[in-house]
Chain A
Amino acid sequence: MNPLKEPQRGMTVIVKTIAKFVVPPIILFGIYIVLHGHLTPGGGFAGGVIVGSAFILLTLAFGKEVAFQKLKRSTASVLESVGALIFLSLALLGIAAGGWFFLNFLPKGHPLRILSAGFIPLANIGIGIKVGAGIFAVFLTLIVFRVSAKK
């Protein structure tokens, strides 16, 4: 069913329509920040927060069912661990490739190109996945779970 036609869920049609238009650019902008983390201000953390906030906007505007169709809570927590493991395995690959933990073992390339700075872009992607999924999972945990107060 089209979520726009369900007035009882989420916010008003105005909010839903605007959200529908701005969510894709927000995600795209987040990915841009992550990928250009080694060149411009921002990076994995900032970009990840932006991507996560797009999903939060989706949840606020359409209700949690619609947001869960795009990204389940279990998927979010799996992605969070995967992001962290990517980062850690890059650090460990440094030992394998050059003998130092966190060694930047990839070729450095030319400054200001997108493919430069060794493994920093890869590390940024790992952090971006972790932070984006983490922010969304924290938000969901805060809104979904309630501890019933003892009377």
Chain B
Amino acid sequence: MNIIPLFVAVPLGAAFILVLMGKREIASDVIVNLATLCLAILSLVLIPFLKNNNGVFVYAMGMWFPPKGINLVLDGLSLFMLIVVNTVAFFISLYSIGYMKRFTAKSRFYSLFMLMLAGMNGVVLTGDFFNLFVFLEIASIASYALVAFGVEAEELEAAFKYMVMSSIASVLILFSVGLLYGLTGSLNMADVAGIIQGENNLLLSFSLILFLVGFGLKAAIIPFHAWLPDAHPSAPAPISAMLSGVLIKALGVYTIIRIFFNVYGMTTQLSWTLMILGVISMISGGLLAIRQEDFKRLLAYSSISQIGYILVGLGCGNYWGLIGALFHLLNHATFKSLLFLNSGAVEYSTGTRKLEEMGGLSKVMPVTGATSTIGSLSISGIPPFNGFWSKLFIIFGLVQAGHFIITALTVLVSVLTLAYYLKVQRFAFFGRLREKWAQIKEVPKVMCVSMIVLAIICIGTGILFYPLMKTILEPAVAVLQEGTKYSILILGG
């Protein structure tokens, strides 16, 4: 099935063609949107394909079969991530047509964007540790450049900080891959999982900790979060949406899930580690967000808090916890990218990110105002929006596992989330319109379309959560639940 390598090949090819496009803006708009649309459709086409293949498909690159060659693995979890990444990427590229007009060198921007997408699709698909590292670096290096895309002092500083911290993460990950290679003599994830099963070795635990810190840095879990509140607000809005909505999940959360659940196998200590890190991120992210004056910075802290939810659900480890975590991952990708696009629209029209300077903007920007209200209600977990269901599932899982204190904290943080999003709504979109904003207009139509469709997805996944659960979430949860049986599935099939 040759669709699978296309998820890497198409964005990579598009990236290099776009560099050749130079100043031809319309042509590069068309190329990018065609490429991302193709990928989004292809990822949906793979749903029935995977069902016919009993939930797992191994693609050997160049006919070198695992464990010797590099393989791409498509299973429920990879497919779920592919759908999230490529759908969000399509709406963001649509939004970029309007938003990136103000920047010079649009085709360079698109080229880096496509490289980042290629890296993320690769990370999600690969079944090989070193290949994972390579794709991780492609996506990260493209994102450093994208954060610095505005080349003002603030952006360069944020990009440099991000680069330093993320490079440390990459070094730790590479070191850990090296350790694993030394211990097992293999780089194939499934093969490594088979070899280390049941072994209890100090170096093995050390490599696990290195992975936790490395991917924790990429996922911006507190205490590894320091780069995120600078990097995400400084990037151009579509990139903020991409970073917060997708990148930290594909590079951080997905890899943690894959390596902890399928390679090492979850243990009680590991689930407690995830759960405690999750609770810390959830609470401190929320508390830090409530104090922010900058729209995008508030959203960035809120991302940390929501990643905490996902980790709590993963650490909880039963069916409801896992399905809640993955559903929250999907939902966070949609509403957080929507909110970042809203913040970009506000910045596009008013030129400011300070919440106190705004006010009453929904009178002059009705689409942005309405979609941001939907996004805010979704992220705060108001029924029937999608955030409500995922948080509810996580709470089910926690109650079922008997973690009542964490359940109470989860509910409290949800209230906190509502509080700071009400602050956003109150300061930016409701209230009295200032005189200096009376003349501004709504953003261009393409940007509106992208925001409206994302808002519809927020409502749609909330109402149609049951079919969604059956088609894409349950296969993904099944991958997590089968744990280290992953090894036999990949190498046997």
Binding site for B on A (CB under 8 A): 77-78, 80-82, 84-85, 88-89, 91-92, 94-95, 98-104, 147, 150
Residues in A neighbouring B60, C-beta threshold 8 A: 100
Query: With an 8 A cutoff between CB atoms, is B98 at the interface?
Result: no
- Shortest Cβ distance from B192 into chain A, in angstroms? 22
Binding site for A on B (CB under 8 A): 2, 5, 9, 12-13, 16-17, 19-20, 59-63, 151, 153
A102 adjacent to B62 (CB under 8 Å): yes
Residues in B neighbouring A95, C-beta threshold 8 A: 2, 5
Closest 9 CB pairs of A and B: A102-B62, A101-B5, A81-B16, A81-B19, A84-B16, A100-B63, A102-B61, A95-B2, A85-B16
A88 adjacent to B19 (CB under 8 Å): no
- Shortest Cβ distance from B78 into chain A, in angstroms? 16
Residues in B neighbouring A94, C-beta threshold 8 A: 62
A85 to B60 Cα, complex, angstroms: 22
Instruction: Provide 18 A-B residue pairs closer than 8 Å at the C-beta atoms, listed in order of the A residue.
Output: A81-B16, A81-B17, A81-B20, A85-B13, A85-B17, A88-B16, A91-B5, A92-B9, A94-B62, A95-B5, A98-B63, A99-B2, A100-B61, A100-B62, A101-B59, A102-B5, A103-B62, A103-B63
Q: Interface residues of B: mostly helix, strand, loop or mixed?
A: helix
Residues in B neighbouring A92, C-beta threshold 8 A: 9, 13
A85 to B21 Cα, complex, angstroms: 14
A19 to B352 Cα, complex, angstroms: 54
Known A-B contacts A95-B2, A101-B2, A150-B153; the reply to A88 vs B62 at CB < 8 A is no
A95 to B151 Cα, complex, angstroms: 41
Q: A81-B16, A91-B9, A101-B62 are in contact. List 17 more A-B contacts (CB 8 A).
A: A78-B20, A81-B17, A81-B19, A88-B9, A88-B12, A88-B16, A92-B9, A100-B2, A100-B61, A100-B62, A101-B59, A101-B61, A102-B5, A102-B61, A102-B62, A104-B62, A147-B151
B13 adjacent to A88 (CB under 8 Å): yes
**How many residue pairs bridge A and B at CB < 8 Å?**
47
**Of all chain A residues, which has the CB nearest B152?**
A150
- Shortest Cβ distance from B195 into chain A, in angstroms? 26
Residues in A neighbouring B62, C-beta threshold 8 A: 94, 100-104
A61 to B12 Cα, complex, angstroms: 36
A78 to B111 Cα, complex, angstroms: 13
A80 to B15 Cα, complex, angstroms: 12
Known A-B contacts A81-B16, A81-B20; the reply to A101 vs B9 at CB < 8 A is yes
A99 to B61 Cα, complex, angstroms: 10
A104 to B59 Cα, complex, angstroms: 16
- Shortest Cβ distance from B105 into chain A, in angstroms? 12
**Of all chain A residues, which has the CB nearest B21?**
A81
Residues in B neighbouring A82, C-beta threshold 8 A: 20
Residues in B neighbouring A80, C-beta threshold 8 A: 19
A103 to B64 Cα, complex, angstroms: 9
A81 to B13 Cα, complex, angstroms: 9
B19 adjacent to A77 (CB under 8 Å): yes
Residues in B neighbouring A104, C-beta threshold 8 A: 62
Residues in B neighbouring A102, C-beta threshold 8 A: 5, 61-62
A77 to B60 Cα, complex, angstroms: 33
- Shortest Cβ distance from A28 into chain B, in angstroms? 28
- Shortest Cβ distance from A142 into chain B, in angstroms? 15
- Shortest Cβ distance from B295 into chain A, in angstroms? 25
Residues in A neighbouring B151, C-beta threshold 8 A: 147
**Of all chain B residues, which has the CB nearest A77?**
B19
A82 to B60 Cα, complex, angstroms: 26
A91 to B13 Cα, complex, angstroms: 11
**Of all chain B residues, which has the CB nearest A86?**
B16
- Shortest Cβ distance from A38 into chain B, in angstroms? 15
Residues in A neighbouring B16, C-beta threshold 8 A: 81, 84-85, 88
Residues in A neighbouring B5, C-beta threshold 8 A: 91, 95, 101-102
A146 to B62 Cα, complex, angstroms: 44
Residues in A neighbouring B61, C-beta threshold 8 A: 100-102
Residues in B neighbouring A89, C-beta threshold 8 A: 13
B16, B59, B151 — which one has the most chain A CB atoms within 10 A of its CB? B16
A147 to B59 Cα, complex, angstroms: 46
A78, A98, A101 — which one has the most chain B CB atoms within 10 A of its CB? A101
**Of all chain A residues, which has the CB nearest B70?**
A102
- Shortest Cβ distance from B72 into chain A, in angstroms? 8
Residues in A neighbouring B63, C-beta threshold 8 A: 98, 100, 103
**Of all chain A residues, which has the CB nearest B72?**
A101
A88 to B10 Cα, complex, angstroms: 10
